[in-house]
Amino acid sequence: MKLLEINAQPSRTTTWLLSWFLFAAGITAYFVTATKRHRENPDDRVVPTLAQMSEGVYNATLKPEEGAENQSAWTRFSNSMLWQDTKASGRRFLISMALLFPAVLLGLHIGVFPYVGVFFLRFILFFDKIIALSVLPILFIAFGIDELSKIMLIVIGVTPTIILDTFNLTRGVPEEQIVKGFTLGASQFDVAYRVILKQIFPRVLNSIRLNLKAVMLFLFAGEMIASSDGLAFRIALLRRNMGMNTIIPYVLWVALLLFLVDLTMRVLNRKLHPWFREE
């Protein structure tokens, strides 16, 4: 059967159709279900129709404040709850992502320098087994319910994984390349940063990219439990009122943002490391 042949070469049209098939099937199934439920119960709020979701999107993005009906669309959007929530969550997300890069350097040093490895590795291996959500009450007590506790939750949840991934990638660099570097007159840090780090960095970026969902998971956990703004806070607030016509667009918006971040990191990786072909 040609569909199951390892060497099969789908045409461009077939590739396009098959790659979008599940999207089309999912959307069709949703709206068929919505139509059926609303035919049986016009007040159903669990599976909103397209018109209801459009209303939810409008209220979240363009609904003018009372007495400000003459504002431009851009002004209304910049003051909307979707944009304010996106800014709040985006700020926490970017700070947390920036804090992952020192973890890369620590993982590199653990893998390259034996004394650093002896000092840190066992502790990191133990720390990696701590369930981040289990220490959330401790973080709230230690740092309060402001920004720091949410960022620390992400750092505790994701940083050990990045450190250990970097460590394993570092240990995977062939010994011959390190010896060759020393033979050509490289110093200790030249080998660490110009031989090993340059070689593993595209895979490290991939590791961070594949942990984007974990970063967002811990961010959402912190925002849902104790926050006054943010995308997860809004979803939790809307859940109390069964606001599915706004919750679903919010979920799709978060997915779109993560997809764009993922795409940006893949493009950046390809531009910075044209020799790297692993996806």
What is the four-CA torsion angle of 213, 137, 139, 84, rounded to 10 degrees?
Answer: 50
Token pair in block for residue 181: 């570097």
Task: Tell me how far CA of residue 132 lies from CA of 17, 147, 155, 161, 222, in angstroms.
Answer: 41, 16, 9, 12, 11
CATH code of 77-272, in short, is 1.10.3720.10
How many angstroms separate the CA atoms of 91 and 151, rounded?
Answer: 10
Looking at the predicted structure, is the pLDDT value of residue 69 above 80?
Answer: no
Looking at the predicted structure, is the pLDDT value of residue 64 above 90?
Answer: no
- Tens-digit pLDDT profile for residues 21-59: 999 999 999 999 999 999 999 888 889 999 999 998 888
Q: What is the pLDDT at residue 67? A: 60
Lowest mean pLDDT across 15-19, 223-227, 235-239, 269-273? 223-227
Q: What is the pLDDT at residue 9? A: 84
Looking at the predicted structure, is the pLDDT value of residue 68 above 70?
Answer: no
